[in-house]
Amino acid sequence: MLVGDAASLVDPFSGEGIANAMVSGKLAAEHALAAVREGAATRSTQSHYERAIWAAMGTELDTSYRMQRLARHGWLLRFVLERAARSPRVRDALIAIATDPARAKDLVSPMFYAKLLLA
């Protein structure tokens, strides 16, 4: 089982990885212990670990990846940040995206940017 940087669990947007390494290390230890108790390390053990990793941090990593993609387009990032500087509604929308992983899909929605034009 891979953990932390070896498992590519570095946050794509911020570059941070210590917290993800600690979570993945804990999950790996739990799954290794379960495999030892069962008397066998199998592909099933590995897939349970992978699902646990995704459940623990997948949506956060997905949000960070979407934010990283936005940051690659300087003109678009400037547009969003300029709107956020002038509009509390836009600031609130960005905060919602950063704190609610379910809202991350907004970053790739043309409708989200159309609403920013009107804000």
21-80: pLDDT as tens digits: 999 999 999 999 988 888 877 777 778 899 999 999 988 888 888 878 878 888 888 888
Residue 113, domain extent:
73-119
In contact, 95 and 69? CB cutoff 8 Å: no
- Tell me, yes or no, whether 51 lies in a domain: yes
Closest residue by Cα to residue 32 from 2, 9, 12: 2
Number of structural domains in the chain = 2
Give the distance from CA 109 to its chain's centroid: 17
What is the average per-residue pLDDT within 94-99? Answer: 82
- Tell me, yes or no, whether 66 lies in a domain: no
Residue 116 shares a structural domain with residue 93: yes
pTM: 0.68
* Residue-level pLDDT at 27: 96
What is the average per-residue pLDDT within 106-111? Answer: 81
